[in-house]
Amino acid sequence: MSSVEEALLLKPPPSTVVCHRAAAEAVAAACHHDGCPGCAMDRRKESLGGRIPIRELSFVSATTLAASLPITCLFPFMYFMVRDFNVAKNEEDIGSYAGFLAASYMIGRATTSIFWGIAADRLGRKPVIAFSMLSVVLLQTLFGLSTKYWMAVAARLLLGSLNGILGPIKAYAIEVCQTEHQALGLSVVNTAWGVGLVIGPGLGGYLAQPAEKYQRAFSKESIFGRFPYLLPCLVVSLFAAIVLLSCIWLPETIHKHKITEKDIKIVKALPSQQAHWDLPRKKSLLQNWPWMSTMASYCLFGLHETAYSEILSLWAVSDRKYGGLSFSSGDIGEVLAVAGASLLVYQLIIYHWVNKFLGPLISSRIASALSILVLATFPFMTYLSGSKLSFALYAATMTRSVLGITISTAMCLIQNNAVRQDQRGTANGISTTAMSFFKAVAPLGAGVLFSWAQKRQNATFFPGDQVVFLMLILVQLAGLTSTFEPFLVMPAAEECR
């Protein structure tokens, strides 16, 4: 591996770009077009003088959080919700039905993500983001009002199909930042997404079945008594409605003009490393092997992350006789909420330095290897109780959350810098579709695996919960392997010339 290739993929653009900013701005100003929102955004970035675009990243954070909350909000009460639907013949089969309910969102997202990515490239980021927030407001409320299993599945399927925000918001986070802040932009997306995936279960755990938990505030005859899972869904919908209103002030970033040969020459005139990161890539995404290979790794890690989230919740609330911890929905919600808080601290304070000194590729490899060690500790927690169990579980979930967000942020950063701006929405849409397929398979497989494992709790070879976490370790190992050659294709050294 050459030193040039190492510089391109292992580390983000070096700080020397900042020293050349004045010269770069003078050259790049020649390619600005009047009336183009993308060019207006470029001028705004230049006017910041290297400062972080706090307003835009705050919107990115709030929007991403609102879009991610519905995904895992149901995990703490999913077991009880499926039980109340009376579709499972016995208790051991609840996991299978719960897995399909969780997977329905990802199935819907997999079918439409490419469409939303193309729409974001052609119509702009703003209309796609606004429509996605509207879908969350309506369909998350409908899910909370479900009284039949098919109603819940249909609401989740539609929500996944119409909430096409993940690809466009990643592109938006890249486009509102100057080169030296792009890692921070994607870090904000992944932080908010990760926090949402953890706060979501917290909301579900604390607010589900309020008539049983908070009898003084909610009566069984009230709407929240008749619909025990509406309250957490309604809170998510209200937050999404606030974000939807804020879209009025959202600036567009997409360029409304074609990239000309003159523009390409201007970018080539920029300082070498910045020119590499800004230069338009190959026209066909299918010929962009660095992007394709990184997307494969991204999908494997996404498969693992979703399976882990579902298994952790199901395992924690299941009875100890089946290898679980006998937690209530509130208990596991509290654990996941604390893990979400650790993500926020890590991404805002620590991750910047991790990315600066290790780069996205090396940091993802180290985090993946450490995740395998953490996962191996979970089955042994069933032998603990009291404060020892609490300490072990909190420490493991916090560490695992930090490692997972390190991997996903690194993969997103490499992916988005492997394509040109007018392809970024489509590229993220394709990767979201592929990732959604894997994330749809994950809860299905995890639910079936969990139900099967509960029936073999007395087996001699990897009984019950041990075989579940063994499978998670194997998937994580596959993801780690995919970050090495020949599975991961390095950018050609001549691209930086």
Q: Measure CA 471 to chain center.
A: 21
Q: Is the pLDDT of residue 265 over 50?
A: no
pLDDT at 137 over 90: yes
Instruction: Give dist(CA 8, CA 336) in Å, integer.
Output: 36
The one-letter amino acid at 166: L
Task: Tell me if 324 sits within 8 A of 316, measured CB to CB.
Answer: yes
Amino acid residing at 75 = F
pLDDT the model gives residue 109: 84
State yes or no: pLDDT of 469 exceeds 90: no
CA distance 100 to 153: 8
Q: Which two tokens stand for residue 171?
A: 């592109």
Percent of the chain with pLDDT over 70: 82
**Residue of 25 and 383 predicted with greater confidence:** 383
Half-sphere exposure of 106 (CA within 13 A, CB side): 25
**Cα(25)–Cα(23) distance, rounded to whole angstroms?**
5
**Measuring CA to CA, which residue among 294, 351, 366, 272 is closest to residue 14?**
272
What's the mean pLDDT in 212-219?
Answer: 84
- Burial string for 6-41 (b: 16+ CB within 10 Å, else e) reads ebbbbbbbeeebeeebeebbebbeebeeeebbbbbb
Q: What is the pLDDT of residues 381-426, one digit of tens each?
A: 888 888 888 899 999 999 998 898 889 888 888 887 777 766 777 7
For residue 281, give Cα distances in angstroms to 277, 368, 421, 463, 494. 9, 29, 9, 50, 12
Percentage, residues of the chain above pLDDT 90: 16
